[in-house]
Amino acid sequence: MENKNSYIFGRNPVLEAIASGNPIEKIFICFGMKGEPINSIYSNAKKAGIKCSNLDKRKFNELEKNYLPKGSNSQGVAAIIRSFDILSLEELIEKSYTDNKLPVIIALDGITDPHNLGAIARSAECSGASGLILPEHNTAPITPVAVKASAGAMSHLPIAKVNNLSQALQTLKDSGFWIIGTSSDADRLYSDNIYNQPNVLLIGSEGKGLRPGIINHCDFMVKIPLYGKVSSLNASVSAGIILFEIKRQRDK
């Protein structure tokens, strides 16, 4: 595992981080912030033994300027945490089978927008997925923007990083997973009954899709039919639709 310090910001992401037991070192609140979410942060932080520090507006603005992405809407709240434990692929596979007989893992190929990364993590966690796989290269890093876009989901979702996605997919296949790829040119529909095995759902970039070498590992390729004039869906929307279809089929 690897562990790094980082900042998260926004009232709900900080509340989620407290609730999840993430190792928060300190919470910073801009002086004068009021309301129920702020009260909840104070009370839950106290219960968890986390120190809250009030900063005047000038100091809080300096914190935003030096440590948060430009244009961040922090809502007057930021926290420094020892960020998420990053698992090895083997650790993620072992954990996924411990938690679920038919685990679903999401793997990303070419998702470089941190907002998309966070939104996909949010859909994955909400649908009960077992984890998320991020290649070391050509993928958005886990930044405060991604954490905020996940609405706290990254505090709950196991995440693994891999140097080589192609090799990782072969390891997953050897461990019993069936690989589901996504493409607008696929022959199968996302609603076909093909999810009765442990699955890895591959999500590629909106422009280029999955790389050919990655597609070669797929047991099935699926598409979401579109009925309007726009030719593609946002990657995070596609992920959410398919993840909840898997959940729907398995809950029958």
Query: pLDDT tens-digit profile of 51-76?
Result: 899 999 999 998 888 878 788 889 99
pLDDT of 2 above 50:
no
pLDDT of residue 186: 92
Alpha helices of 35-83 — where are they, by DSSP H? 36-48, 57-67
pLDDT of 3 above 60:
no
Q: Which amino acid is at 31?
A: F
Within 10 angstroms of residue 38's Cβ, the number of other Cβ atoms is: 18
Mean pLDDT for all residues in the chain? 90
pTM here?
0.73
User: 86-250 has which CATH code?
Assistant: 3.40.1280.10
**Mean pLDDT on 218-245:** 93
Query: How many residues appear in the chain?
Result: 252
Burial track 82-94 (b if 16+ CB lie within 10 A, e otherwise): ebbebbebeebbe
- CATH 3.90.550.10 corresponds to the domain 5-82: no
pLDDT of 215 above 70:
yes
**Mean pLDDT on 81-95:** 86
Return the sign of the alpha-carbon dihedral for residues 106, 5, 112, 156: positive
**Mean pLDDT on 21-48:** 91
Tell me where in the chain the CATH 3.40.1280.10 domain(s) lie: 86-250
Tell me where in the chain the CATH 3.30.1330.30 domain(s) lie: 5-82
Least confident of 72-81, 167-176, 209-218, 240-249: 72-81
pLDDT of 104 above 60:
yes
pLDDT of residue 142: 78
The answer to whether the CB of 239 falls within 8 A of the CB of 210 is no
**Mean pLDDT on 147-165:** 88
Under the banding of pLDDT at 50, 70 and 90, the label for residue 22 is confident
Full strand arrangement of the beta sheet holding 159-162: 86-87, 159-162, 131-135, 104-109, 199-204, 178-182, 220-223, 188-189
Dihedrals φ, ψ of 184, to 5°? -70, -15
Least confident of 84-93, 134-143, 181-190: 134-143
**Mean pLDDT on 195-202:** 97
pLDDT of 140 above 90:
no
Q: Which amino acid is at 187?
A: D
